[in-house]
C-alpha cells in the first residue's frame, strides 16, 4: 500500500494517514462549485490536490494553535498548583 496514493474501497489506512487525506465536505463542495462556475478547465483531480494541500496548511496552523493553548493551560495549572501548595 502506497501512503501517497488515495485510498480505494479495499484499502484501510492507518488513522494518521486517513486524517491527512480527509477534506471537509463543505470545502470540497465550495471548491467544486467554484470549479464548475469559474474554472471549468481545472480538472477534478487538480482541484482535489489543491484542497489536500490547503488542508495540510490549515492542519499545521491548527496544531500550532493547539500547542500554544496547551502550553498556556499547563502554565496556568502549574501556577494554581503552586498557589495551593
Tens digit of each residue's pLDDT, the chain (85 residues): 344 545 444 566 676 766 667 788 888 888 889 989 988 888 888 888 888 889 889 889 999 999 999 999 999 999 999 999 9
* DSSP code of residue 33: H
CA-to-CA separations, 66 to 10, 34, 40, 73, in angstroms, rounded: 34, 31, 37, 10
Domain map (residue ranges) of the chain: 23-84
What pLDDT score was predicted for residue 70?
97
Distance CA 44, CA 14 (A): 25
Predicted local confidence at residue 10, as pLDDT: 54
Supply the pTM of this predicted model.
0.59
Amino acid at each position: 500500500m502506497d501512503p501517497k496514493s488515495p485510498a480505494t474501497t479495499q484499502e484501510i489506512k492507518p488513522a494518521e494517514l486517513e486524517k491527512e487525506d480527509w477534506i471537509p465536505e463543505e470545502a470540497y463542495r465550495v471548491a467544486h462549485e467554484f470549479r464548475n462556475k469559474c474554472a471549468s478547465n481545472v480538472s477534478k483531480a487538480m482541484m482535489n490536490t489543491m484542497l489536500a494541500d490547503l488542508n495540510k496548511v490549515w492542519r499545521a496552523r491548527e496544531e500550532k494553535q493547539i500547542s500554544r493553548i496547551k502550553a498556556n493551560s499547563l502554565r496556568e495549572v502549574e501556577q494554581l498548583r503552586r498557589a495551593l501548595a
